[in-house]
Structure 1
């Protein structure tokens, strides 16, 4: 009897926050075996999954958007929305009459600074920028395959289930965008949690000034912590807590605010959090793939196949050493394994 050869399942390459680093992204894609066919990167057996935040901060935002959208439209990639794409929609969408606001996202110095590079790089291409804003509405908030999940910052099963029921899918529309401007609304909670993560308020009188110069009274938390006891057990952000705060025990009401990611759930991938160590899973079924490429860290991907337990060996990356006029120069010995 002749047995048919088993057809290998398609592999996926989940790619971290790009933030306008188009040249570095091209190097990572080529390192993973993607090649341009009719001007679009493709792989014969794999599909890229972008974790969002293609725009803002970097030197080649317009080029990055064209590269990613072309791959998505060709079917060689998919993408989930990042908080920066969401912020751009709010920044560029006028508020409705009677709201007391001119735009959904306030045009203040901090917000102006965050989107500055994007708007400058599209200054000569306003029609293109409007087309990309429309395209952002087609980007899902999350991807759920049989073997893995992807979301920009936090997988909250309860919010995702309710969102699917209300929206009939994984994408927002303009009505949902307007509703999300009220952070206390369901729409506001969906966008804040899935795209920015969960948080806890710092103790009375304690504030943290982050690397971005912004002073916060909240800190970002893990959505997968097992039986946490102290603030140190749940903090998940680049800026550390003061040691005396990190050692404080969580109060029952704070523990009740935390969500958990089940140990038997499929692997989930997030970006957003500006990691700076050597890439490795956060948990056997949780991985962050944002390693601060635009801040001269690493542009990282995880090569997902059929595994149920994530492995450090499946991460690949390109080191970003210093800026120059092209993007960031990559020497031969800085291209990752």
Structure 2
């Protein structure tokens, strides 16, 4: 059966952002009935789908990448690209002559910090890292099955259709990567929207400082809000808006910028957003499965079996506990739930 996991009624297990938490991923897979066969995790009746962001931040990035790529190559899993895989491609790709910059993604203090753990853990395996960078090009930006959809941050149907027409599929190539470094370009809008989500500019003079210390003039928004009236109706991020800003009414122009995802559309799964509550659907056909595993939250999966209305009881997870020794922050301990 190795490599030939096929049934008429296969189920899917959609797994949230891993960020190098390889041991926790193993616990979650085993909790869901996946077992190693010839060194690769597989399930006799189900397929895992990874939501992206396998790399950066966590203690076992190299191990997580090998585990995930082996499963994908074997057919026991699929994957969509996360913004961290996309960022890594840009960070490690030289800009073309005449562009005025050395790298597609600038090597500044913030970008250096975000990718540091990944590059450190591959320091003695440069050939492997280069192979993974090439593999990232084979990862689709989205998956569209008959009964559900998967994308890292935001499903923008119109943008996706234009992308499929332009690219002839769901993957980017090096030309598209280079084009996407200009955020105002079509390529830039595709990567920013699908992999980072939608946002709105804060009112003039208003800025918010996130828990990561980064000062922002924009805030992340829902792509599924129904008839929103105020900023509070559309904000979707860990850092709250100031109360006086949250109460402000959306302008007509701001409403036009928002994307809607009607209840008539198939269920869609996203990651990316650092949720910290009890896992549950955001609406009957929208679920976020990123519950901040690398920040000692939960590594979450949704067990999809063709239902049109998503159910809270279909979420499963592993809680990630803080290490006993606070001076060793890359320890990873997890408890199955």
| Corresponding residue of 2:202 | 202
1:294 & 1:106 partners in 2: Cα distance?
25
After superposing on structure 2, the runs of 4+ consecutive aligned residues of structure 1 that deviate more than 4 Å are: 324-327
Q: Secondary structure at the match of 1:194?
A: helix
Report if aligned partners of 1:318, 1:335 keep a CA contact under 8 Å in 2. Answer: yes
Q: Deviations over 1:39-58 (max 9, x none)?
A: 00000000000000000000
| Corresponding residue of 1:147 | 147
1:211 & 1:180 partners in 2: Cα distance?
28
Q: Secondary structure at the match of 2:239?
A: coil
Q: 1:143 Cα deviation (Å)?
A: 0.2
Aligned length: 327
Q: Secondary structure at the match of 2:49?
A: strand
2:141 & 2:76 partners in 1: Cα distance?
19
TM-score by length of 2: 0.96
Q: Secondary structure at the match of 2:78?
A: strand
| Corresponding residue of 1:292 | 292
Residue 178 in structure 1 maps to residue 182 in structure 2: no
The 3 A distance-change label for structure 1 pair 185 and 127 is: same
| Corresponding residue of 2:303 | 303
Residue 102 in structure 1 maps to residue 102 in structure 2: yes
Q: Deviations over 1:275-331 (max 9, x none)?
A: 00000000000000000000000000000001000000000000011136784223x
2:156 & 2:74 partners in 1: Cα distance?
30
Report if aligned partners of 1:176, 1:187 keep a CA contact under 8 Å in 2. Answer: yes
Unaligned 5+ runs, structure 2: 1-6
Q: 1:8 Cα deviation (Å)?
A: 5.2
Q: Secondary structure at the match of 2:321?
A: coil
Q: 1:26 Cα deviation (Å)?
A: 0.2
| Corresponding residue of 1:9 | 9
| Corresponding residue of 1:247 | 247
| Corresponding residue of 2:223 | 223
Residue 328 in structure 1 maps to residue 328 in structure 2: no
TM-score by length of 1: 0.96
| Corresponding residue of 2:24 | 24
| Corresponding residue of 1:3 | none
Report if aligned partners of 1:92, 1:103 keep a CA contact under 8 Å in 2. Answer: yes
| Corresponding residue of 1:135 | 135
